[in-house]
A and B are shown apart, each in its own frame.
Chain A
Amino acid sequence: MIRLEKRPTPSRAWSLGTPVLAVLLTMIAGGAMFAALGQDPFETIRIIFWDPLFHERFAAFSRPQLLVKAGPLILIAIGLSFGFRAGIWNIGAEGQYIVGALSGAAFGLAFYPSESVLLFPGMILAGILGGLLWAMIPAVLKVFANTNEILVSLLLVYVAEAMLASAATGWLRNPDGQGFPGSRNLARHPGTDNPVPLDPGGKIVGFLERIGLVSDGRILGGFFTDAHVGIYAAFIAVIAAYVLFQKHMFGYQIKLAGQAPRAARFSGVNPGRMVLLCLGISGALAGAAGLFEVSGPAGQITIDFNAGYGFTAIIVAFLGRLHPIGILFAGLLMALTYIGGELAQLMLQVPAPAIQAFQGMLLFFLLALDVLSNYRIRIGRAAAA
């Protein structure tokens, strides 16, 4: 007989070991699936996990793309981890991401064709504010009307999507676009574009080359050659969250509110304030991610601008065990499976649903193996209590 016995505290060894084990199990199960599809399993797995990083033809392009794809996921997931730790469930980051992008883009386009250096900082602020205010709707309703923030934040995603469609086909539509939907391109207009500080042709890299610190124009293995300001913001968010959770009273209060709400109340934690702060932080970061995306990789407001980052970030937050460093790695791992999955589709014509199933397996094993860090597996009869 096999029994599960709860560990008094989660096993540290298993917490670190399960992600590695999960990846291995995914490779085995996924490999079997690819073999059943008529693909060479070893080649497919190599293309997904190895080629984006080291293939001689693809790596130079896909390495920086890894950060571009992971950046918004990490930024949003860090914000979500505050609420999730405190038991406050913001499921609507996708909506906050959209509203952040809309507010930021609207701010930038309002001053078109200005190329002022103040424009982009203003857009960032507008994006943060947009996401923050959108998250305040479920927050305020929860605090003052005791509504369920899961439902309200989720349903507001659909409202945000309708606003996005109306912006793309109406009030933010490119006047020079012959009636087609979509705003002007922010990424290709100086002033509203999201700068790429370590762009190989840019000033910083040029300076470092002149003083002899860099020779081939690529810094840090080339990972940062396409990294826009949003990627740096994601790294700053990781560090800030780490410090807050480890060193600051606020981090402790969040943990307490999540694990022992009554104890938290007795120790002077105001639950309403906690809701406003946690939803506010996650909304602000999701809004910022939306703005960085619309002014960078996406370039413009379109009907289908949102690509599901807000929902995927929920998975990233849990994959990373709600820990900032964990989220950083989880975001990078997700990005790797996306980019590697695309490569497998192109190189071997693996069908897209098979790639999605493969990603699903990874999440399944990661979460299923969680049981090993929280429980001990006992084989044999239960000892008399």
Chain B
Amino acid sequence: MRTLTRLLAGAALATGIAGAASAQDDPFTVGFVYVGPTGDFGWTYEHDQGRLAVEEEYGDAVETVFAESVPEGPDAERVITQMILGGADMIFTTSFGYGEATNAVAAQFPDVYFEHATGYLREHPNVSTYSARFYEGRAVIGHIAGHMTESNIVGYIGSYPIPEVIRGINSAYLHAREVNPEVEFRVVWAYTWFDPAVEADAAQALIDAGADVIMQHTDSTAPQTVAQEAGIISFGQASDMIQFAPTPRVASIIDNWAPYYIERVGAAMDGTWEQGDTWDGIGSGMVVIGEMTDAIPEEVRASATALMESIGAGEYHPFTGPINRQDGTAWLAEGEVADDGTLAGMDFYVEGITGEIPN
């Protein structure tokens, strides 16, 4: 099925590009570099949806190209350069590991606009970075998980022990504990972003350890399949994963890049593009909570929606004190809100989470 979709998508794309090229002599060309396959139904899939939204928005004025499954090593620099030699005027590099390569190429092509996802390096005026406040979404699904677990054990598949993932674990845990003081989190580190076999093993290990709710910070749908077989619940990650609803997937965190991509491409085309560092969340629509299914009791759906809305309106910050670090030392005082700098570099668990962060 996946192959067929890809075949069709490939054919559709080929004709689409040919059409765009013949309609206008020099459309604005936007290149996308993906870390996984566009058919992963997770992280890369959502970036590709953003790309398609750009095409839809600007029609013949824009042409897009992409390269999928580009390793985050020495190859990235070459792929980006080749895109530019092929005519790209703007490049989106959609994974953290492309940071150095993006900046290295940006130095050589000062007239090309660069947008790097989830990174922090902006060494040249033509490089912007952008990311989403995924932890806001984690707060909402953590809230649901705290209500839903009966064994009081929530399994969490982490990719790598980096600040973004640790932040997500902390946010989910805080909001699960808020509604269920008995809850425990078990974290397994998969050391991969996308490896269905490893992710499935991790999910099974967590289920064997008693987890009846699985959260994932990896990109494949394999944990959903395992959760389905085990008859427990899970949450869609990066993409809606709606094909697993109503159970095991009871809700999801969707990365919605389309509005940002449309805005930035538009700005680059009319010359108003400026370097920036964007970190948007539920409020701006960059983070979306996918449909909560009937498997969640109605009052929990209502409280989760209320939480989502108060975060979106900026009334509530998921990291609001009092919060202690895992070792018991104070981090945030009563009513104090975490600053972005600490969140960006978060390398500690909050109090109550057992286990250690590797290293």
Minimal beta-carbon separation of A63 from chain B (angstroms) = 12
Complex Cα distance, B107 from A185, in Å, reads: 15
For A, the interface residue count at a CB cutoff of 8 angstroms equals 51
> B73-101: which residues lie under 8 A (CB-CB) from chain A?
73-75, 77-79, 81-83, 85-86, 96-97, 99-100
A353 contacts which of B6, B72, B100 (Cβ < 8 Å)?
B6
Once the chains bind, are A169 and B162 in contact (CB under 8 Å)?
A: yes
Complex Cα distance, B83 from A162, in Å, reads: 33
B74 contacts which of A57, A181, A307, A342 (Cβ < 8 Å)?
A307
- Known contacts A37-B11, A346-B65: A179-B347 contact under CB 8 Å: yes
Once the chains bind, are B67 and A58 in contact (CB under 8 Å)?
A: no
Once the chains bind, are A349 and B191 in contact (CB under 8 Å)?
A: no
- Please give me the residue from chain A that is nearest to B11 by CB atom: A38
Q: B14 an interface residue at 8 Å Cβ cutoff?
A: yes
Once the chains bind, are B73 and A57 in contact (CB under 8 Å)?
A: no
Which residues of A are found within 8 Å of B73, using beta-carbon distances? 297-298, 302, 304-307
Q: A152 an interface residue at 8 Å Cβ cutoff?
A: no
Minimal beta-carbon separation of A296 from chain B (angstroms) = 8
Minimal beta-carbon separation of B23 from chain A (angstroms) = 17
Complex Cα distance, B249 from A316, in Å, reads: 44
Minimal beta-carbon separation of A163 from chain B (angstroms) = 11
Q: Which of A68, A171, A185, A349 has the most CB of B within 10 A?
A: A349
Convert B44-66 into 0s and 1s, putting 1 for each residue whose CB lies closer than 8 angstroms to a CB of A.
00000000000000000000011
> B1-43: which residues lie under 8 A (CB-CB) from chain A?
6-7, 10-11, 13-15, 17, 31, 37
Minimal beta-carbon separation of A361 from chain B (angstroms) = 17
B96 contacts which of A38, A180, A297, A343 (Cβ < 8 Å)?
A180
Which residues of A are found within 8 Å of B163, using beta-carbon distances? 179-180
Q: B120 an interface residue at 8 Å Cβ cutoff?
A: yes
Once the chains bind, are A169 and B359 in contact (CB under 8 Å)?
A: yes
Once the chains bind, are B160 and A351 in contact (CB under 8 Å)?
A: no
Once the chains bind, are B67 and A346 in contact (CB under 8 Å)?
A: yes
B359 contacts which of A166, A185, A302, A349 (Cβ < 8 Å)?
A166
- Known contacts A38-B10, A39-B14: A352-B69 contact under CB 8 Å: yes
Convert A56-91 into 0s and 1s, putting 1 for each residue whose CB lies closer than 8 angstroms to a CB of B.
011001100100110000000000000000000000
Which residues of B are found within 8 Å of A37, using beta-carbon distances? 7, 10-11
Which residues of B are found within 8 Å of A347, using beta-carbon distances? 86
Once the chains bind, are A352 and B191 in contact (CB under 8 Å)?
A: no
- Known contacts A169-B160, A179-B344: A297-B83 contact under CB 8 Å: no
Which residues of A are found within 8 Å of B72, using beta-carbon distances? 302-304
Complex Cα distance, B75 from A351, in Å, reads: 17
Minimal beta-carbon separation of A297 from chain B (angstroms) = 3
- Known contacts A38-B14, A303-B160: A352-B68 contact under CB 8 Å: yes
* Interface size range of chain B in the complex: 35 or more
Q: B161 an interface residue at 8 Å Cβ cutoff?
A: yes
Q: B321 an interface residue at 8 Å Cβ cutoff?
A: no
Complex Cα distance, B75 from A161, in Å, reads: 19
B67 contacts which of A304, A307, A342, A354 (Cβ < 8 Å)?
A342
Convert A327-354 into 0s and 1s, putting 1 for each residue whose CB lies closer than 8 angstroms to a CB of B.
0000000000011001101111111111
Q: A165 an interface residue at 8 Å Cβ cutoff?
A: yes
A352 contacts which of B67, B100, B119, B344 (Cβ < 8 Å)?
B67
- Please give me the residue from chain B that is nearest to A355 by CB atom: B69
Complex Cα distance, B79 from A39, in Å, reads: 21
Minimal beta-carbon separation of B32 from chain A (angstroms) = 11
Q: B346 an interface residue at 8 Å Cβ cutoff?
A: yes
A58 contacts which of B6, B17, B68, B82 (Cβ < 8 Å)?
B82
Q: A170 an interface residue at 8 Å Cβ cutoff?
A: yes
Q: A293 an interface residue at 8 Å Cβ cutoff?
A: yes
> B254-300: which residues lie under 8 A (CB-CB) from chain A?
none
A345 contacts which of B68, B71, B345 (Cβ < 8 Å)?
B68
Which residues of B are found within 8 Å of A304, using beta-carbon distances? 71-73, 97
- Known contacts A178-B120, A304-B97: A57-B85 contact under CB 8 Å: yes
- Please give me the residue from chain A that is nearest to B71 by CB atom: A307
- Known contacts A185-B100, A346-B65: A298-B11 contact under CB 8 Å: no
Which residues of A are found within 8 Å of B328, using beta-carbon distances? none
Q: A95 an interface residue at 8 Å Cβ cutoff?
A: no
Q: B358 an interface residue at 8 Å Cβ cutoff?
A: yes
A302 contacts which of B37, B85, B97, B104 (Cβ < 8 Å)?
B97
Once the chains bind, are B359 and A339 in contact (CB under 8 Å)?
A: no
Once the chains bind, are B74 and A297 in contact (CB under 8 Å)?
A: yes
- Known contacts A342-B82, A353-B37: A179-B346 contact under CB 8 Å: yes
Q: A18 an interface residue at 8 Å Cβ cutoff?
A: no
- Known contacts A169-B358, A303-B97: A349-B10 contact under CB 8 Å: yes
Complex Cα distance, B66 from A198, in Å, reads: 32
Minimal beta-carbon separation of A147 from chain B (angstroms) = 26
Which residues of A are found within 8 Å of B75, using beta-carbon distances? 69, 307, 338, 342
Q: A30 an interface residue at 8 Å Cβ cutoff?
A: no
Minimal beta-carbon separation of B9 from chain A (angstroms) = 8
Minimal beta-carbon separation of A113 from chain B (angstroms) = 18
Q: A299 an interface residue at 8 Å Cβ cutoff?
A: yes
Q: A300 an interface residue at 8 Å Cβ cutoff?
A: yes
Once the chains bind, are B85 and A61 in contact (CB under 8 Å)?
A: yes
> A152-193: which residues lie under 8 A (CB-CB) from chain B?
161-162, 165-166, 169-171, 177-182, 185
Convert B98-142 into 0s and 1s, putting 1 for each residue whose CB lies closer than 8 angstroms to a CB of A.
011000100000000000000110000000000000000000000
Once the chains bind, are B120 and A180 in contact (CB under 8 Å)?
A: yes
Once the chains bind, are B359 and A178 in contact (CB under 8 Å)?
A: no
Once the chains bind, are A178 and B345 in contact (CB under 8 Å)?
A: yes
Minimal beta-carbon separation of A170 from chain B (angstroms) = 3
Which residues of A are found within 8 Å of B66, using beta-carbon distances? 345, 349
Which residues of A are found within 8 Å of B65, using beta-carbon distances? 346, 349
For this complex, 12 residue pairs linking A to B, each with C-beta atoms less than 8 Å apart, are: A65-B78, A179-B344, A180-B162, A180-B345, A297-B77, A298-B74, A302-B72, A345-B66, A345-B68, A346-B67, A349-B10, A351-B10
Other CB < 8 Å A-B pairs besides A178-B344, A349-B13, A351-B68, 9 of them?
A: A165-B160, A169-B160, A169-B162, A169-B359, A171-B359, A182-B100, A302-B72, A349-B65, A349-B66
